[in-house]
Amino acid sequence: MVSERRLCCAVVGATGVIGREVVSILEERGFPVGRLRLIASGRSAGSTMSFKGELVMVENLATVDFRGVDVVFSAPGASVSREFAPKAVAAGALVIDKSSAFRMDPDVPLIVPEVNPEAAFRHKGIISSPNCTTIPLVMVLWPLHRAFGVKRVVVSTYQAVSGAGKKAVDELLSQIVARFNERPIEVRALPHQIAFNCLPQIDVFREDGYTLEEVKLLEESRKI
């Protein structure tokens, strides 16, 4: 019997919406994790999270040495990814990044496994994952494109508050509680009240009238 090599994995942004989901999927799917390192900012360093029934302490990214790490699942936000990922690659790790930092970099494959898995093998240390609306869109479009050739697509998306991260989810909860207790509603993470509401805008508006979210969808789907 061939024994499977177990990998040293790290999750950067482990305490966030995406990071927590990655940790739970690694566990759920029996990914061959030898050691798991959970990494976030100084704010949550020292706290613990559970993986396969054991508590793992969260490390501070600012002091992490990536030598010995095989795969980094990265979701700390674009500016942080841009800074730490090249260092992790130089230390020998493969970085799979969930932020927008490297998506349009011509040297970085932008992968949806159901559509272009083969492109992942051309990586130079970083593999990027698209925006959360691009992924289901291209999964639907790709077979249609192969069968008929897609010329034009009209897209409407209805997105969850969790797409804006844990701050937005916490804000939704606190606004609901405030509303039921007849207290004033505070707006910080999102541009307007989100409880009992729907915002027809994701990310900032550009000069051409598109939002950044819409532009990501256009550019990323073409690259994939």
Indicate which single residue of 16, 126, 172, 221 sits in contact with ligand NAP (rule: CB under 6 A).
Answer: 16
Q: Does the footprint of ligand NAP cover residue 174 (CB under 6 A)?
A: no
Q: Smallest gap, in angstroms, from Cβ of residue 158 to ligand NAP?
A: 13
Single-letter residue type at 161: V
Q: Does the footprint of ligand NAP cover residue 77 (CB under 6 A)?
A: yes
CA distance 38 to 203: 28
Q: Which is nearer to ligand NAP, 140 or 150 (CB)?
A: 140
Q: Smallest gap, in angstroms, from Cβ of residue 222 to ligand NAP?
A: 18
- Asked whether the beta carbons of 102 and 196 are under 8 A apart, the reply is no
Q: Smallest gap, in angstroms, from Cβ of residue 136 to ligand NAP?
A: 12
Per-residue b or e along 44-73, where b marks 16 or more CB atoms closer than 10 Å to that residue's CB: bbeeebebeeeebebbebeebebeebbbbb
Q: Smallest gap, in angstroms, from Cβ of residue 71 to ligand NAP?
A: 17
Q: Which residue is nearest to ligand NAP (CB)?
A: 16
Looking only at residues 99 through 118 of this chain, which bind ligand NAP when binding is defined by CB under 6 A? Answer: 99
CA distance 96 to 48: 23
Q: Which is nearer to ligand NAP, 150 or 218 (CB)?
A: 218
Looking only at residues 126 through 165 of this chain, which bind ligand NAP when binding is defined by CB under 6 A? Answer: 131-132, 162-163, 165
Which SS3 state, helix, strand or coil, does residue 164 take? helix
| Interaction pattern, residues 22-61, with ligand NAP; x per rule: CB under 6 A | ------------------xx-xx----------------x
Q: Which is nearer to ligand NAP, 183 or 201 (CB)?
A: 201
Indicate which single residue of 51, 66, 71, 76 sits in contact with ligand NAP (rule: CB under 6 A).
Answer: 76
**How many Cα atoms occupy the beta-carbon half-sphere of 199 within 13 Å?**
20
- Which has the closest alpha carbon to 71: 6, 3, 165? 6
- Estimate the crossing angle of helix 212-223 against helix 134-148, to 10 degrees: 40
- Which has the closest alpha carbon to 38: 25, 20, 53, 52? 20
- Which has the closest alpha carbon to 19: 27, 11, 10, 31? 11
Please report which helix (H) or strand (E) contains residue 135, including its range.
helix 134-148
Site residues (vs ligand NAP, CB under 6 A): 13-19, 40-41, 43-44, 61, 75-78, 80, 98-99, 131-132, 162-163, 165-167
